[in-house]
Structure 1
Amino acid sequence: MKDVVLTGDRPTGPLHLGHYFGSLANRVELQDVHPMYVLIADYQVITDRDLPGQIQRNITELLLDYLAVGLDPAKVTIFRHSAIPELNQLMLPFLSLVSVAELQRNPTVKDEIAHSSQRAVSGLMFTYPVHQAADILFCKGTLVPVGRDQLPHVEMTRLVARRFNERYGEVFPVPEAMMGEQPLLRGLDGGKMSKSRGNAITLSATEDETAALIRKARTDTDRLITFDEAHRPEVANLLTLAALCLGRSPQDLAEEIGYGGAAALKRLVTEAVNEFLRPIRKRRKEHAEYDVRQILAEGNERARERAVTTLDEVRAAMGF
């Protein structure tokens, strides 16, 4: 049986290079090999914020990012969370399969709580991993391209699938995480790269915006540029970013810069990133006139048909 890929993002702002090297590049390659569902997780926006913000605009911008990196709506099913009520109904039986302690231990949830913009942490935050399990399992997803920080959520989905099958009979495959081969990129301030923390280079950033962000990136005072992740993490992160964009090793780039210091390092990174993003920016501009509502309407219809079938199977297995 062919693997089914489920992936997606929350529409909380533009996607960035961390998303691209951590997950998006995998998706573009996989769309020609496997059936793929790409989720715009609009309901999950309120897990860590009191208001969804400019949700409609963010959904449009997210879809434009998808098209810019090369996802093809003729090959993949792109859909909105809130358009598929059957998907969300799966969360109720799934929640009965996990303990409160297991939800509290999730390291990704802990990190999101630490950076939440909510006045108080909501119950939805703790159920976030189970919500994601419903996202993956509604389409019988078997491959989940993720960044390293999302691995705990995939583990929760595997746990839910196994426990449901043990309790009610075989309904769900146990999915596997698919990691990009590239190392984890940190933000320009040395912390986790995140669109909400303002430390990321977005795929939609202009050349001038990109240059300004890199100029403000943290480095150190040593003029000799070396690749040392343990002792010089900020410098190593910039070298890694340039290396990913250029298809070279960070060690070679460090040797090339030598005693050029932070200024030479940042010039190299700026040129590498802008050159890499140039075709993505071009495609994004070309797609900006497309009717994204039509793309989503067609994707929603296909996704909902799949969700209805899966929910019927779940109800039958549970005896409802």
Structure 2
Amino acid sequence: MFKRNLLLALLFILPSAVNAENYSIGTGGQSGIYYPFGGALAKVWSEHVPDVNAKAEVTAASVENTIKVVRGDMIAGIAMGNVVLDAYKGEGKFPTKMPVNTLFALYPNLVHTLTLEKSGITSLSQLKGKRVSLGAPASGTAVTSAALLESLGIDVKKDIDAVYLNYSETTNALANGQIDAGFIVGGQGVGAVTQIALTHKIKVLSITPEESAMFMKKYPAYSSYDIPADVYNNVGEVSTLSVWNVLVVNAKMSDDMAYNLTKAAYENIGDVRKVVKMAEMTTPENADRLQGVPLHPGAQKYLDSIMK
């Protein structure tokens, strides 16, 4: 009797498990904010969107995530707005226009240009001739750092000794004296910067108003941003650049799916905020912060329904 009842129970349970499709959310390295954000979002979607079983996938971040979303390998990916804008326009790393939309904007990423205090480096122009980590290959950090340096007349192929390392590799190499400086483009309070600031005397280089203006003229997805003093141990206020992160999806995603994913995310954003403080900025009012790339019609439908 017990075996018969167990079999009947399994017959009722298994169809729902089988029907739930497995999906990946593209994130980044485990030492950044993308990964825990994606993990928290995956949990929300798995619990609140019918027939969706989602998990966070470690990736090289923005460029890789955008490509995999377009290929259909991922249901969504976290990416920097400038990368998604390039994909939509068919510029930069993308030779043709990509069928991408966004579900909503998440939070702003900040440009952290790191060096040790003892290096003597005090400005971006002094990076010429130095060993510099530009970020992980196929990441938004690598796209941004190269574009920023080139806007200042620094050729990343000729004028610096460039290496491509992820967040934790960058801070480890900096701590070990293997590089002179490195870029991390991540949310305010990003773990990799927080950790190295606790063990080493670091400097986060400011970007001057003139340097910012030159860069933003060519890359309007960015804006100026001041990191307050003491966000990182013994680091004063830093003038830098910001760009919003977004949740990128394939434009061919069904309207119902986009609606359900957006609805579940916003109605349960409190669960995400318990894991990632930066999710406090993930609000319906900030959903369309990335100008130039359309929101998915399904996401727009949900936002219209609550913003009336």
Q: TM-score, normalised by structure 1?
A: 0.28
Structure 1 or 2: larger strand share?
Answer: 2
